[in-house]
Amino acid sequence: MEKMDAVTALAALAQDNRLDVFRLLVRAGPQGMSAGQVAELLGLAPNTLTFHFDRLRHAGLVTVAREGRSMIYAARFETMNALLDYLSENCCAGVSGCSPGAREPKKLGRKKSKVSA
């Protein structure tokens, strides 16, 4: 993956609804799911969802296929894997035992700080 492709993919994922859509499609697997199912499961308006799908498609992160009257969206696992490879290709400068899967995943979120009075 080239640097600009990585930037485009990361920019597409850097929005909460698009990240939710992409993660849902990853869970759905290669068969994907209809736009209506995605809208229903995530509580998004169809017109808003169309915009998000377009950004993800432009970044190469999802595909779309017509199935009857439905549009079926699916994650492009090869692009996702290429992005992960790009992000981790120099992980720990090649130190053995250091890889993205070698450690327990940490929960993302803000730490609550203790403020003393």
Per the structure, the complete domain to which residue 15 belongs is given by: 3-90
Instruction: Provide the pLDDT for residue 117.
Output: 41
pLDDT tens figures, 1-52: 999 999 999 999 999 999 999 999 999 999 999 999 999 999 999 888 999 9
The enclosing H or E element of 33 equals: strand 33-34
CA nearest neighbour of 38 among 48, 13, 30:
48
Identify the pLDDT of residue 116.
45
Which pLDDT tens digit goes with each residue over 89-103? 877 766 666 665 555
Q: Considering the entire predicted model, what is its pTM?
A: 0.79
The pLDDT, as a whole number, for residue 52 is 96
Q: Is residue 33 part of a domain?
A: yes
CATH code: domain of residue 48:
1.10.10.10
Does 83 have pLDDT greater than 60? yes
